[in-house]
Every structure is written in structure tokens, then in C-alpha cells.
A and B are shown apart, each in its own frame.
Chain A
């Protein structure tokens, strides 16, 4: 799957074995609710790691633990061997940048200014140098601006540098958020659903963008619901269900894992559970919330993919027939059926059709 970017592998290979992010036993409790339970995850440099799981599985909470927005109740997060400080601005200074699930740009600032804010940790000019405007200040401002324009060039928004961020179309706002995160020269970038609400063409473009980011030597950890996207993209995928890590491995392993299928689709109705472990995990997952059920439907095409389309999907540039399931998936996200059992039943024939 990653053979399409052989060039990237060549550059990333020497440093590839360095562990960038090392989360050990991260647990996050909110009162009596354990949102994330004992999750271990490592990200190596030059790697794209995916984090998937049904809604409410604790993916974003885990992200917030990594970026210092939350302080984990237990466990520790290390970035390049250093334990991360519990403040989000210090985490960014250390080298982890992130984007948000619902876009959080500085709406009334221009596109360029948004990226310049991202440069904050990499520049040092304080109030006095701003007031005195020495040559050092001007040099630093010019350098920041140059870097910001490079990044805007990189994501293709250079011609809109002076527009207000809030006037950009949705897809470009997502891109701008990535550029803003890149501006802090991170070693690891965390993307929280970078393609949510995008059409297939935009998703494909985002994919290219993330490969390009990886090629810059930045490790990527990405949360996504779009299975085609995540399995195309990621070297490794971790599955989070009910706050616990179910499995971690390459896309083949994850896609063929019965527990993952169970978590997303629910248990087959006619059959008895095959193993003890999936039964434990799947039972709460299926009975949990209606959102879970929606997820089940949404990702019905995921297991189907590994048989036929998976081989030629990267080569094809999104033919309409190919895109249809993806669109269905994002639609299904929104209209949550009331009944979980119904959803599971609906999903089953859907799977047959796709296969």
C-alpha cells in the first residue's frame, strides 16, 4: 500500500527507528467514568499511525492527554524520551502540534496571521523588542513571514494569504489548520479527523498532503472515521474501543481481526460468539449507544474492501463507483438510527452487497 511513496521511504529510512512518541499506560478518568484505560502507543519517526474506533471510544480524549489539554490520571507520555509537561503550550514547544476535530482557527485573523501564530514557539521576540523594533526584531519577523508563506505555498493557500480565515471554504480551513500546526516545526503532528465532512476528491488531496508531511520527516498520528482513507494512509493502525486499545498492527491485521469487525458491526445474530475475548468487547460495544450503531453502518464497507478494491484503490483516482460507499459512510454518521439491533441488521445485508 505504501509502495506508492517509495521515495518517502528512502529518506525516512535512516531515522525511521527513533521513537517519537511513547505513551505508556495512559488512563484518563472523569469522576467515575474512565474515558481512556491503560493505553500504550508508540509512534516512530517517518511513520503514519492511525487511531480508529467507534464514536465515544476515547480517541479525542487520548489526543487531549497527549497534547497536555488533559493531564492523564495515570501513565506518562514521552516525546523523544522526555516526559511531556502537563501544559498544552509546553507540549507544542516540545514539538507536538495538533489540529482539532471541529476546526478552531482564529477566525478574524488573516490566513497568514494564523500561520504566524503557529510560529509563536519558534520565535522569541517579546514586548520590548516589539516596541523598540531593533534589527533583530525585523529579521525575526521577516523570517517568520517567509516560513509562513512557504507553508501556505505547501498547502496551496499562498494566494489567499490576506483573506480572513473565516471566509475560507471548509476544506481550505482544514488545510490552514494543518499549516498552522506545521508552523511550529513539530516532530509529530496529531490530526483529529482531518477529512471529516470532505468529499472524496478532497479526501484524496488530504491523503497526498499527509504523505507529503510525512516526507518532511514529521511523524503523523491521525484519527479518522473514513476507513478507506486510514488503511490507505497508515503504516500502523491502533483500534480504540471503550477506552481500551483493542489491537494494533498494519492495516491487513486490523481489518481481518474479528474483534474489530465485531466492535464496528456487532456480533452476527445467528451465531454464537466464537471466542471469549471478542464477546467481552463486543457485547458492551453493540449495546452501548446509538452512535456505536451508526458507526457499524458507516463502516460496513471497510471489511469488504480488503478483498476486491484494496489492491487497486491506491492506483485509481476515485472513480464515482469507488466513491459511493465512502459518501454513504459519512451520511450514515449523521442520521443515527434509534435501535442498535436494527442497525446491525441493516449493516449485514449491506456487507453482502458490497462483497
Chain B
């Protein structure tokens, strides 16, 4: 029996050895494949200067020769990237720095990005205008060129991982599962970087800072482009381009080198990021996108506050948006709004203190009885408290209860802030740029975000932060190490609440009105508990930039893709499931998890970088 079953295995074991240096599909030999990739990518770039369709009815006007617009621009960027990677793989002098981890993985992702955006465009044109007939020759060239490039890129050889051969004695379903798993491992290996990232040579720090500035500038322009996309197709194309483009840059190893640099100059990078963010309103001609910017900042700031509670201390809080509401209501009540029953008008610094303090008090009140619970119980209780807040606010309207919050009408016409004679309601002209109302609040909110970032970083990297992580990891062991679990958890809870309250005070002024319906557990408009948690999980738990990126994405996607309408929440559910399946650590992996990946690449590296990050 065993001799029989061994026989089929022998050729199976020999076969991978023969194909070890072959590509994923194996149509072309390596040399030809590489040449075809280069030619195809170059042709793609050229096709971006042709007309893709005959009518300007497709948004963005892709009919003009010699002047790429809209989606053509995106294809152009990915095409140029692919060409550069391909040239770098030929060892062209001066381009070696582009691919510190080897070019092949980057080429594949680049080709995939080009293909994805191009074929999305082709499909969109065909669907919108009624058939592929509407493609001009340029569009056909594009479609063929990108397809050929992708196929050739998949022919590039890669190191095949060792896989378990399919056991012929298994049931057919198990065999199917096994072979599918093997195929998936092969695909993953094909797209992986061929070798470990080369360490950056020691550069003068001025050059390093310059590189960081360039990286931040690029990030700002990508973000600005994304936020300014005018129609659905452009935004979807942007998502494809940006997602796969970043994957390509990641596979090339550039991203890792950039991370090395930013973690070396951490404070500087963060300051630079804030400067870049502050430049955002100056890139805009009107207040339309600054509105989005300020809402994203509010959402992101609250998500970062939640990350202290969920990501560091591991307390699953499903009612977090209530603290934002407490802050907003507290600020609204003392803002001098005509509908506020108190009729007082505090200066903003006092209002912000009142808002944050009210949230902290609320946090302690909720936390003190509930934090003795662990895990799921805590989640359910906080969910309940979040709803209690909303319903209480709804009922304190003078008829069902005391008149404090005006019930479901909320507190309307909250006056604009006026700090040191600077009226936030009026547009101002700074250095020739007109800064509108929302841009004013954008700057204020950026300040609050900076405070929250500072609090997150400093508290996370300290005795108390370590205690939080210890509690998250193993509460019993943490107690045995002398950590007063309840006290430490209550501090995390109250701190998170206070930060949300801080953001709430600004939110009240930005939105003019606060109503109980803004503070739901789940709803279509982002700052709600479910979306906040999704932003943290999607972005990366326990990281600083993760929730910021996650919040930006979670806010922009529903805002930009209006056509999704009712299916929005459904689409999010699917997206979250996919993310959890394929990248459970979130978009931005935790420093500690990165450490784990580093260990496989290079044993000397983890000793060097985190030591500096910690200092």
C-alpha cells in the first residue's frame, strides 16, 4: 500500500524542482518575458497620450490626443512605475535604488495596477456608453498592452515555496482544498519581494530629511488628489491605482526603507506630516474639500482616542461615540447658542475644558462599574451605555424629563468660534490664499489631532502604556506583576473618553447643530461607534497612523461613492471580512508585529531600529 502511494509522489516531488525558476503561468522564457514587460509598459505609457473614446460624454474627456486626463493620468502613473521597475530589473544605472528588495515582485504588482486601472476604465467606457464599440484605437491599444504586460510579468521567475503535495488517498474535497492552498501559496510567493530589503546606506541627515519631506509631499498630493476626485469612476480608479501602486512600492522595498527613515527621525516625521496636513487647505480653491478634510480629522481623532482604549488596553468599547456626544453637547450648552437652556457663553478654552471634563466624568461613571468585566461582557455593557446616552439626551427635552438638551431637536445655531479676534465663520486671506470657514476649523482640528497624537505616543511609550498592553495580553499575569488592573483600565477608559470629548467640542461648532441622531451605534454617516471601531481595526490596532488612515478611507469611500447608496453598509461588511481574512493586522501593522516580520528578514535589524524608536 505504501509503495503504491509513494510512486505518484516521486514525480510530483521532481516536477517542482524542474519548474523552480519558472513563472506563474509559464508561457514565455524569462528573457522574452522581461523584454515584453518593458515594451508593454512603455506602450501603455504611450497609449495614455492617445484618445481612448470618441465622445466627451464619458466623464473626464478622454478624447484628446497628447494630453492625458482623468483616468488616463492614473494609468500613466502606474505605467511609468512599471517601466521604471522593469528598467531597474535590467540594472540600468541610476535606477537601482528603486528596487532595494528586487524588482520582480514590484513589476508584477505594477503590471497588475496598470492592468486593473486600464481594464476598469475600458469596462466603464463600454458599460456607460453601450459596448466596446465606443473605444477609440488608443483604448484598444491600452487594453492589449496592459494585458500583455501583465501576462509577461507573471512569466517572470520566482522562488517557488515548498508545498505539501496533494495526498491521493484524501477525499476529493480535501484534495481540492489542498491544491487550492498550494496554488495560493505559489501566487503569494510570485508577488512577494524576491529578497530582503537592502539596508539604506548611511546618508547625511540633511539628505534623509529631504527624502522624508519628499515622501510626505507625495503622500499629501496622493491624498489631495483622492479627496478631489470629481466623479465615481475617477475615485474607483484612484482606489485601484493607489492600492495596487502602494503594494508595488511595498514589494519593491521602498516603503520599508521609508519606514526605516521615518522611524529614525520619528519626531521630525510626525511634525512634517502635520505641516503637510496643514498645507492641505492651501491646495484647494474653495471650501468644498476642506469640509471633507475637517470631518475626516474629527473622525480620525476620535478613532485615535478609541485606539488607546481598544488597541492598547484591549477594552472593546462599542459605545465610544457617546463620549464624542458628551463633549459636543457640553460645548454646545455653554456656547451661547439661543436654543441652549443655560444661556451662557463660555470662551472657547473654557468650553473645551468643560467638554473634555464632562467626557472624563462620564467615562469614569461608566467605567467604574463595567471595567470589572472582561471581554465580551464589557463590549455588551458599553454598547448599552452608548444607547443610554442617546436616549437620555432624546428624553431630556422638557416633556419626558428636565429640559436640558432639547430632545430630538438638539441644540441648533451654535455660534462660530472667535479666538483672539479671529472669527472662524469668516473666510480669511492668508498669503493670497482664501481660507474659508471649514478650513479655519480644519486648522483648529489639526491642533486637537496633534494633541491626541502626542497623548497617544507619550502614554503608549511609558510605564502606564506598558501596563495597558500587559493587561491586553494577559490580565492575570499582569495582576501578578503588580499592576492594579482596575485602576489602569479606568485610566485608559477615562483618557480615551476625554480625548473624544475634546474632539466633540470642535465638532459641535463645525456642524452648527448637535442632535442625538449624530451619535448612533451604527449608521451611514461615519462618526458612529461601529465605524470608529472599524477604522481602528482596519487601520491597525495599537498603531498611531493606522486609525488615521483607516478613518480617512472609511470616510472618503462612502462620501465619494454615492451610487452605492443603500448597499454601502453591506459593502463595508464585505470589505471588513476580506481585510480580516487577508490582512488581519490592519493596513498599518503594529510596531511589535513588524518586529516579528523583521526577524525573518534580518536578525540584526530589530536590535537597531526599535531601540531608537523607543528612545
Contacts and interface: CB of A to CB of B under 8 A. Distances in A.
A167 B599 contact: yes
B470 A137 contact: no
A274 interface: no
B143 interface: no
B31 interface: no
B458 to A, nearest CB: 5
Interface in B84-106: none
A181 B474 CA distance: 15
Interface stretch (B250-258, B295-303, B481-489): B481-489
B172 interface: no
B463 interface: yes
B595 A110 contact: yes
B477 to A, nearest CB: 4
Given A141-B462, A184-B482, A106 B592 contact: no
Contact of A118 (B479, B481, B495, B592): B481
B210 to A, nearest CB: 29
Given A88-B479, A89-B483, A126-B464, A164 B607 contact: no
B478 A164 contact: no
B610 interface: yes
A104 B478 CA distance: 9
Contacts of A125: 462-464
A184 B491 contact: no
B320 to A, nearest CB: 19
A117 interface: yes
A130 B464 contact: yes
Nearest to B596: A164
A120 B596 contact: no
Contact of A127 (B483, B495, B592): B495
Interface string B48-63: 0000000000000000
A137 B479 contact: no
A256 interface: no
A163 B610 CA distance: 10
Nearest to B473: A106
Contact of A89 (B454, B464, B485, B610): B485
B311 to A, nearest CB: 11
Interface in A98-150: 98, 100, 104-110, 113, 116-121, 123, 125-127, 130-131, 133, 137, 140-141, 144
Contact of B455 (A108, A126, A131, A163): A131
A92 B477 CA distance: 11
Nearest to B595: A164
Nearest to A95: B482
A106 B469 contact: yes
Interface in A253-273: none
B599 A163 contact: yes
Interface string A303-342: 0000000000000000000000000000000000000000
Contacts of A117: 466-467, 470, 478, 481, 483
A45 interface: no
B593 interface: yes
Nearest to B462: A130
Could you say which of A67, A87, A117 has the most chain B C-beta atoms within 10 Å of its C-beta? A117
Contacts of A118: 481-482
Contacts of A100: 477, 480
B459 interface: yes
A163 B459 CA distance: 22
B473 A69 contact: no
Contacts of B607: 159, 161-162
B465 A130 contact: yes
A92 B466 contact: no
A137 B461 CA distance: 12
B606 interface: yes
A67 B477 CA distance: 12
B164 interface: no
A140 B462 CA distance: 10
Nearest to B600: A167
A242 to B, nearest CB: 26
A130 B480 contact: no
B221 interface: no
Contacts of A106: 469-470, 473-474, 477-478
A225 interface: no
Interface in B597-615: 599, 606-607, 610-611
B476 interface: yes
B79 to A, nearest CB: 40
A162 B611 contact: yes
Interface in A16-50: none
A56 B216 CA distance: 61
B606 A163 contact: yes
Could you say which of A123, A163, A167 has the most chain B C-beta atoms within 10 Å of its C-beta? A163
A196 interface: no
Contact of B491 (A113, A127, A163): A127
Contact of A110 (B482, B491, B610): B610
Could you say which of A97, A106, A116 has the most chain B C-beta atoms within 10 Å of its C-beta? A106
Contacts of A162: 595, 606-607, 610-611
Nearest to A132: B458
A187 to B, nearest CB: 14
Nearest to B465: A130
B459 A127 contact: yes
A236 B610 CA distance: 45
B482 A121 contact: yes
A228 interface: no
Nearest to B591: A110
Contacts of B495: 127
A141 B615 CA distance: 10
Could you say which of B458, B481, B595 has the most chain A C-beta atoms within 10 Å of its C-beta? B481
A144 B461 CA distance: 13
A88 B473 contact: no
A214 interface: no
CB-CB nearest 6 A-B residue pairs: A121-B482, A92-B482, A130-B462, A104-B477, A106-B473, A88-B479
19 contacts: A69-B480, A88-B480, A89-B479, A89-B484, A92-B482, A109-B469, A109-B592, A117-B466, A117-B478, A120-B470, A121-B481, A131-B455, A131-B458, A140-B463, A159-B607, A163-B595, A164-B592, A181-B481, A184-B481
Interface of A: 67, 69, 87-89, 92-93, 97-98, 100, 104-110, 113, 116-121, 123, 125-127, 130-131, 133, 137, 140-141, 144, 159, 161-164, 167, 180-181, 184
Given A89-B485, A167-B596, 17 more contacts: A69-B476, A88-B480, A100-B480, A104-B474, A104-B480, A105-B474, A106-B473, A110-B592, A110-B595, A117-B466, A117-B470, A120-B466, A123-B463, A125-B464, A130-B463, A141-B462, A163-B595
